[in-house]
Amino acid sequence: MAETGYSATLIAPAKINLSLTVLGRRDDGFHDLISLVAFADLHDRLSVTLSETGSDQLTVAGPFAGSLDRDNLVLKAISAFRKEIGPVPPLSITLHKAIPVAAGLGGGSADAAAILRLLAREHGLTTMAPSIQAIAAGLGADIPVCLDSRCRYMRGTGTTLDPEESGFARYPALLVNPGVAVPTGAVFGALAAEQKAGRDISGPRSLAEDIVTGRNDLEAPAVAVAPEIGPVLSALSDLPGALGARLSGSGATCFALFETDSERDRAAERFRQTYPAYWLHAGALRNWEMDSLFPQTPAFSG
């Protein structure tokens, strides 16, 4: 029986597409791709208690709460879990939204993955269990890779995952968003998909090279949809110490990586002077340990 005083905290890290190659358009209208995905120290936070109303409740707070659809992936993930795996008591969830919405950082996917991690643990399942992966893939292409928040390649429509990249190292990172909405559909619409079929994916051959010099095939179409992205990429590339700059996913968040925290911090201050109104996060890429994604999280019962 569930504890009446139950209270849990879940961490939902932002994902970064360090590289993204579009291989071609499929017959079903989706695109095959290969993307190296890592995760930032930036994260949403979910506070979970047992609902007193007999139904699931979701409250959204934080700096990006106003732009989030209340009928979001968190509630859909709970419903899908009940249908496919087993019972879940009615939950009351407060989502503190710190990741910009529709920004190429997978915030909604990260939130859904966080609640699936909790429900999987309650039923004695791992995040890589086929049933959990199937639910995640059915909800959204980025959700499977967000389940364990560790660096790996994803392929196909995004739901086929390579083994974790053991050679991943922490990188200081500067994330910038110019505050424009960039719908993913519009970016893929601007992509000349017919020219991508059978795309040669030759390029960086090592993990370190792909992290620093990889490419994003959605960058040019995203700039066409939202021209504000172009100057951000140029400004980031020109910052002293920046190891290049790219777009994450379909945007509009851009990032630059650095070798040291001090280089990143100096670059952040310089960027703020030029674009004081833009959202900026000076942090780092990291591989999250599973325990760190579950702070203060007891079991539902016992």
Answer with the residue of higher pLDDT: 54 or 201: 54
Indicate the residue among 121, 144, 165 that finishes a domain: 165
Confidence (pLDDT) at 291: 92
Confidence (pLDDT) at 136: 97
Confidence (pLDDT) at 280: 97
Instruction: Give tens-digit pLDDT for 87-136.
Output: 999 999 999 999 998 899 999 999 999 999 999 999 999 999 999 999 99
Separation CA 128–CA 36 (nearest Å): 18
Same domain flag for 18 and 159: yes
* Residue 118, domain member (yes or no): yes
* Residue 255, domain member (yes or no): yes
Confidence (pLDDT) at 69: 62
Same domain flag for 11 and 107: yes
Instruction: Give tens-digit pLDDT for 18-61.
Output: 999 988 777 676 778 899 999 999 999 999 999 999 999 999 99
Who's near 251: CB < 8 A, 6+ residues apart?
103, 104, 182, 187, 218, 219, 222, 226, 229
Same domain flag for 72 and 205: no
244 by DSSP, 3-state: which?
A: coil
Question: What percentage of the chain reaches a pLDDT higher than 90?
Answer: 69
Same domain flag for 116 and 246: no
Same domain flag for 113 and 189: no
Both structure tokens of 147: 């389940």
DSSP-H helix ranges across the chain: 73-84, 107-122, 130-139, 143-146, 184-190, 207-213, 219-225, 229-237, 261-274
Confidence (pLDDT) at 68: 64
Instruction: Give tens-digit pLDDT for 130-186.
Output: 999 999 999 999 999 999 999 999 999 888 999 999 888 899 999 999 998 887 778
- Under 8 Å between Cβ of 35 and 144: no
* Residue 208, domain member (yes or no): yes
Check pLDDT > 50 for residue 1. no
* Residue 1, domain member (yes or no): no
Separation CA 122–CA 54 (nearest Å): 19
Number of domain units in the chain: 2
Strands 31-50 and 152-156: antiparallel
Check pLDDT > 50 for residue 197. no
Same domain flag for 25 and 158: yes
* Residue 57, domain member (yes or no): yes
**CA dist list (Å): 123 to 86, 87, 301:** 8, 9, 12
**CA dist list (Å): 12 to 135, 171, 283, 295:** 17, 19, 15, 11
Is-cis flag, bond preceding 137, omega within 30? no
Indicate the residue among 116, 131, 165 that finishes a domain: 165
Mean pLDDT, residues 53-82? 87
Q: What is the CATH number of the domain that holds 230?
A: 3.30.70.890
User: What is the residue range of 217's domain?
Assistant: 171-286
Separation CA 224–CA 191 (nearest Å): 10
Indicate the residue among 144, 165, 186 that finishes a domain: 165
Answer with the residue of higher pLDDT: 39 or 193: 39
Instruction: Give tens-digit pLDDT for 154-163.
Output: 999 888 999 9
- Under 8 Å between Cβ of 76 and 106: no
Same domain flag for 147 and 60: yes
* Averaged confidence pLDDT in the chain: 89
Separation CA 44–CA 146 (nearest Å): 12
Confidence of residue 66 (pLDDT cuts 50, 70, 90): confident
Question: What percentage of the chain reaches a pLDDT higher than 70?
Answer: 90
Among 111, 142, 148, 217, the active-site one is: 142
Among 15, 32, 97, 217, the active-site one is: 15
Same domain flag for 100 and 197: no
Same domain flag for 123 and 212: no
Check pLDDT > 50 for residue 301. yes
Q: What is the CATH number of the domain that holds 90?
A: 3.30.230.10
Same domain flag for 154 and 265: no
Separation CA 245–CA 9 (nearest Å): 33
Same domain flag for 144 and 268: no
Q: What is the DSSP letter of 302?
A: -
Query: Is 142 marked active-site?
Result: yes
Full-model pTM: 0.92
* Residue 298, domain member (yes or no): no
* Residue 291, domain member (yes or no): no
Same domain flag for 41 and 138: yes
Query: Is 76 marked active-site?
Result: no
For tokens 């110490």, the residue is 241
